Amino acid sequence: MINKSLKELAQALGTKQISSVELSTLFLDRIERLNPEINAFVTVDREKSLKMAADADARIAAGTAGALTGIPIAQKDIFCAEGWRTTCGSKMLANFIAPYDATVIRKMHHEAGLVSLGKTNMDEFAMGSSNETSYFGAVKNPWDRERVPGGSSGGSAAAIAARLAPAATGTDTGGSIRQPAGLCNLTGLKPTYGVVSRYGMIAYASSLDQGGPMGASAEDCALLLNTMVGFDERDSTSLDRPVEDYTRGLEQPLAGLRIGLPKEFFGEGCDAGVMAAVQGAIKEYEKLGATMVEISLPNSHLSVPAYYVIAPAEASSNLSRFDGVRYGYRAPEYGNLDDMYMKSRAQGFGGEVKRRILIGAYVLSHGYYDAYYLQAQRIRRLIANDFVAAFQSCDVILGPTSPTTAFKIGEKSADPVQMYLSDIYTIAVNLAGLPGMSLPCGFAGGLPVGMQLIGNYFDETRLLNVAHRYQQATDWHQRRPDGIA
């Protein structure tokens, strides 16, 4: 059961081959046994999970089940879930019990009937590319326990890779779904900005954050995405548009598909083994009938500096609410109100979060706003325009997800710039608000390599189709890490 697809699990539940309680117990037992080593989950509540599973079984018995009712799922600990500890990987929220459900949680649990196995570890406030900034410790990559799983959705990625959960939610602000999916041999999708509600998703950078699905395959992601999307009046950036069935186009042939290859993604800076795996995927797509088109994204090299002005600026604003007064961590000793603010924030936030708050406050300050923040927003428009121009000559864009395979824990901790550059291929997609996904395309030095596909606005159905057809022709996504029994 731990290696079955979501569709196969749904069939097993529907034919009474297994109950949701039995299936959830299977995964909860695995979490109990393997999580101390992987550190993928920060909160598990067996009683709550099994109550959800029993409710799902009742829905299945009554004939009112949805497509995924009764299937267990892991939730990134950035989504508020009523009655569950919701930490965002931070000491600041280490004991915070959410009083309400995020829209994603409500839709998945109360409407679709999925069962939450628990909340997964993550970089603190989603700020990181390695899952090393979490207050709860680093997550280990199941493919090599000395390496990072990627971030910030590293706990979700490691949970699926170690078969502690069949699927999970993630969020992506600059690559935080795609990069861990790439480093852990998974499929992960960041939808078009505004397609998935951000209500109840603890904010990092509001104009960039987007929730999305992570699973073993494109088909799994399509099924999950169906349960996540929809207009939400409680999110001012949620888009009011017809809800799609993302599985409807999975089997479309790829003949005539134009795949854009940005010359900026195929130059220097990418590991040779990673590039070889991506080139192998290109050949596979040509066999499937696709045509390669060379394109250019001339401003893509500016995406990292633009992102690290815009995202910290928004973070410094969003994180000002954590002041020790209303909720969250409060310093135990202080002299007066100002002292309480300073000590609560100094003690409650980790180093990387403090760095980004300081950068953000600086670029928004009087005298620097025009020089940094305004310029970064202008560059953001240029980057988005590059994609608009590129999609006039291609249907999807292909390249590496990350310039390297998973690096060792601690390897880049002392050099923030090197850490930031690990998102060089993913950040532009968030700046432009486009959909993007990562899927497995091979191995380099025994470690997984992810291939990134970028689509035009609202073209998730085509992206999932392009990924699904590749996965029908290859078996990279079915490979399992050794030592995960």
Token representation of residue 247: 């599985």
DSSP at 175? S
**Is the per-residue pLDDT at 33 higher than 90?**
yes
d(CA 382, CA 379): 5
Identify residue 198 by its one-letter amino acid code.
R
* 271 C-beta neighbours (distance < 10 Å), count: 16
* Helical H segments across 235-392, by residue range: 272-287, 303-318, 337-348, 351-363, 375-390
Nearest residue to 246 (alpha-carbon basis) of 207, 192, 289? 192
- Residue 408 has what pLDDT? 96
Q: What is the pTM of this model?
A: 0.97
Identify the band that residue 461 occupies on the pLDDT scale cut at 50, 70 and 90. very high
CA distances from 8 to 5, 22, 113, 161, 173 (A): 5, 15, 16, 18, 31
Query: Is the residue at 398 inside a domain?
Result: no
Question: What proportion of the chain, given as a percentage, has pLDDT over 90?
Answer: 96
Q: Is 116 a catalytic residue?
A: no
Out of 19, 20, 152, 344, the active site residue is: 152
Residue 185 sits in which domain range?
6-256+464-478
Burial of 347: CB neighbours in 10 Å, binned 0-12, 13-18, 19+: middle
Write out the two tokens for 472: 């029908």
Residue 453 lies in a domain: no
Catalytic member of 19, 24, 76, 129: 76
Lowest mean pLDDT among 122-126, 197-201, 231-235, 415-419: 415-419
Asked if residue 261 belongs to a domain, the reply is no
Residue 321 lies in a domain: no
Identify which of 396, 387, 399, 391 has the alpha carbon closest to the alpha carbon of residue 465. Answer: 396
Interior/surface letters 412-450, b for 16+ CB within 10 angstroms, e for the rest: bbeeeeebbbbbbbbbbbbbbbbbbbbbbbbbbeebbbb
Strand partners, 341: none
Tell me: the pLDDT tens digits for 110-147? Answer: 999 999 999 999 999 999 999 999 999 999 999 999 99
The domain spanning residue 246 has which CATH number? 3.90.1300.10
413: confidence class by pLDDT, cuts 50, 70, 90: confident
**Assigned domain for 411 exists:** no
The answer to the question of residue 401 being in a domain is no
Q: How many domains does the chain have?
A: 1
Residue 220 predicted with pLDDT over 80: yes
Selection from 215, 219, 240 nearest residue 230 by Cα: 240
Length of the chain: 485
Res. 3 pLDDT band, cuts 50 70 90 = very high
> Has residue 327 been placed in a domain?
no
Residue with tokens 């993928």: 40
For residue 414, pLDDT over 90 is answered with: no
* Residue 88 within any structural domain of the chain: yes
Scan for tokens 């220097």, then name that residue: 268
- Report the SS3 class of residue 166: coil
pLDDT tens per residue across span 314-351:
999 999 999 999 889 999 999 999 999 999 999 999 99
Q: Percentage of the chain surpassing pLDDT 70? A: 100
Residue 76 a catalytic site member: yes
Catalytic option among 156, 176, 197, 422: 176
Q: Which residues pair with 72 in a beta bridge?
A: 115
What's the confidence (pLDDT) of residue 416? 86
Total Cβ atoms within 10 A of residue 377: 15
Say whether 152 is catalytic: yes
